[in-house]
Amino acid sequence: MTDLKGKTALITGSVQGIGLEIARAMARAGAAIAVHGLADARQAAQACEALAEAGAPETRFFGHDLSDPVAAGRLVREAAEWRAIDILVNNAGIQQTAPLAEMPLDTFQRILAVNLTAAFATMQAALPAMAQRGYGRVINIASVHGLVASIDKAPYVASKFGLVGISRVAALEYAAVGSRETGGVTVNCICPGWTETAIIEPQIVARAALHGGDRAAGVADLLSEKQPSRRTSDPAEIGALALWLCAPIAHNVTGAAIPIDGGWTSQ
């Protein structure tokens, strides 16, 4: 297991789903966790308690609204006042589906603000300090929709393609920082396909309605259309890859967009 003792990870959108499982994996490896999300006090406390039980020596909750890019940058600065940020995971994201011609402009702009602009702001705030220490990891949770498109997802696809692109720029700018021994500074994307999270639930419900309300049939319908393995991913599987990317041995893995998609993007 990657040893993250003495390190701190800031993970956006980490009170549930993929973000929480990434946080749990890093907590098990000994990292302190800056937890983030739009959550009430009870949900925030539950997430922090779960991560402490997993092994995090310290946790602290931050509730910044990432639809405001100024707040996104402030999130990093305030977390860094608590503990130096060694690992930044931009996981928070939103989605709304509609045909391009019917997508409200304000919805388009809000999805880009949360999924893309916030990641720019957090990276801009976090990377210089990582470079000074010779070690840092930025892991941006993109999507298969950062690699291929689907109908009715114009803002989501735009945001995720943009996230992959900006990650590659940052990877190039920081590629020469540090060494094999320190671990260097790397910037990568993980691109999940269908994963068991709340963000895909509206699509499952819509597909289930086509099958008389049968949820299992709705899931099967989604998978048959895109994901050749016919299996969803568990969020913990995303966490395991994120943890490996934090290891010093991954010092030369940078600028990558790694799919976990059951073959979706191989078609």
CA distance 30 to 33: 9
Partnered with residue 13 across adjacent β-strands are: none
Residue 137: phi, psi to the nearest 5?
-135, 125
Helix (H) or strand (E) holding 186, with range, is strand 184-192
CA distance 238 to 243: 9
Residues noted as catalytic:
156
**Whether 144 contacts 261, CB under 8 Å:** yes
CA distance 36 to 30: 18
CA distance 254 to 168: 8
